[in-house]
Structure 1
Amino acid sequence: MISIITPILNEEGYVETFLVHLNNVEGDFELILVDGGSTDGTIEEIQGFTSNFRHRLELLEAQKGRGNQMNRGAQRARGDILLFLHVDSLINVGSLRKIEMEMEDATTVGGGFTQRFNDPDIFLTLVSLLGNFRTRLTSTFYGDFGFFIKKEMFEKIGGYDDIPFLEDVEFCRKAKKFGKLKQIDCKIHTSSRRYISKGRMKLSIVFILAVLMNALGFRPEFFRKYIVDK
């Protein structure tokens, strides 16, 4: 079984769309939503849909922070494969079976999807193409690519670092020491809402600089005021 783990924070108006979509995804899975202290109607929106959800759904609370929230979800997971998925990223209906097939390779410890935005904007299309090319080269997956890993390997690595940004980059760096991280030929469709709200060009430049500066030794806390707290 696959455990889908999704960190949430103030996702009213979006989380129900996510749940409706997952209801149509094929396969045996559970969904663990980990709230970081929502102050809008997110929790009520989830509770209103629970009875219509066809799979096991668990709603947890954790201290705000994606790494911390995802670790909390992993602790409760019953599946032998973990899939970390953002609430604004939608997978194809047959994606879980594709993951299971890839994980039959003993040398593969995890991986992610091929990312696309749900927006035909030319700039975002270019961002997506470059992002997929970078991922193929580096085997480093950002959160909007989705990320799957064997639970036993996740525990062996020690989970995500409790840092405000680039927790996915840090985790991939550690995971690659144990085996292959593979980008599968299966699409994940990500909402463009954050790029639209913060500015396409501005957010792209900030992300590029953040990754480059992190590689030079600047820690993720440096980027909090530019990305996390905006």
Structure 2
Amino acid sequence: MTLISIITPVLNEEGTVRLFFDRLASLDGDFEVIVVDGGSSDTTPSLLNECIRGFPALVTILSTSPGRSIQMNAGAAVARGEILLFLHVDCVIPSDSLRVIEEACTLPGVVGGAFLQSFVESDRPEEVRRQVVNWLARRLQTFFGDFGIFVDQRIFVQSGRFSPIPYCEDIEFCRAVRSYGRLVQIDRVICSSPRRFERVGRSKLAAVYLLALGLNLLKIRSPFLKRLIVD
């Protein structure tokens, strides 16, 4: 089986890292975990050291300056896997996900992709929104980071890695990778924490994302929007 490198940026995630590793331990397949801490000021570093004891796969812990692009690029630089999976610490994936990712990457012309996105707690309006967002992501071959983006390691390097921008680095990355092949959405659901919706409000955050995407096309990236979008 192909080795898959799971790369996770963290910053002050003391409330999530233990559960994150508990869930990763149930994954089937050959994988390593690379956690990149962007300078946590809480107990995240000590908790990480506790979590890796007895963990059933190789775990590498790095420290960098804060910034999701910086952290993910640093993790990818030391990854040993042929496939890179960028997984947020508050996201949950099914136990057979790595096998499905590997199978997807063997399809002709496919260089990467992502999961079907959902939230841990979901109501009927949210389900409709989820279906629309997944349809658009699939058609546009463009995914946000909480979709669980995976990519062939060689293509990651050739495409220029993640751009060092405050947000929308995932959108720009997908745009660059599409030059090398197709991005697909696998038939597995990734469950994301609704914490941003709870903090900002669903309607407001949806509007913020649309505004951010529009401004990103003009290469305008507002510090105010960053505070709302980035955890």
TM-score, shorter chain, exceeding 0.5 = yes
Q: Which runs of 5+ in 2 are unaligned?
A: none
CA distance in 2, matches of 1:158, 1:176: 12
The aligned counterpart of 1:7 is 9
SS at match of 2:98: helix
The aligned counterpart of 1:209 is 211
The aligned counterpart of 2:161 is 159
**1:84-143 deviation line (CA, Å, top 9, x unaligned):** 000011110000000011111241010000011110233433332221011111000100
Contact map agreement 1:5 1:83 (CA 8 A) in 2: yes
CA distance in 2, matches of 1:116, 1:160: 24
CA distance in 2, matches of 1:144, 1:210: 16
Deviation at 1:229, TM superposition (A): 6.4
Deviation at 1:50, TM superposition (A): 1.2
Q: Which runs of 5+ in 1 are unaligned?
A: none
The aligned counterpart of 2:226 is 227
CA distance in 2, matches of 1:47, 1:65: 22
TM-score normalised by the chain length of structure 1: 0.95
CA distance in 1, matches of 2:14, 2:125: 27
SS at match of 1:52: coil
Contact map agreement 1:79 1:151 (CA 8 A) in 2: yes
CA distance in 2, matches of 1:115, 1:229: 20
1:66-145 → structure 2 map (5 Å cutoff): 66-145=68-147
One-letter code of the match for 1:57? V
CA distance in 2, matches of 1:68, 1:123: 35
One-letter code of the match for 1:226? L
CA distance in 1, matches of 2:125, 2:65: 35
One-letter code of the match for 2:7? I
- What is the count of residue pairs matched by the alignment? 227
One-letter code of the match for 1:166? C
The aligned counterpart of 2:47 is 45
Contact map agreement 2:212 2:225 (CA 8 A) in 1: no
SS at match of 1:134: helix
CA distance in 2, matches of 1:183, 1:209: 25
CA distance in 2, matches of 1:229, 1:212: 16
CA distance in 2, matches of 1:178, 1:74: 18
Deviation at 1:197, TM superposition (A): 1.3
**What percent identity do the matched residue pairs reach?**
42
Q: What is the aligned-residue RMSD (CA, Å)?
A: 1.3
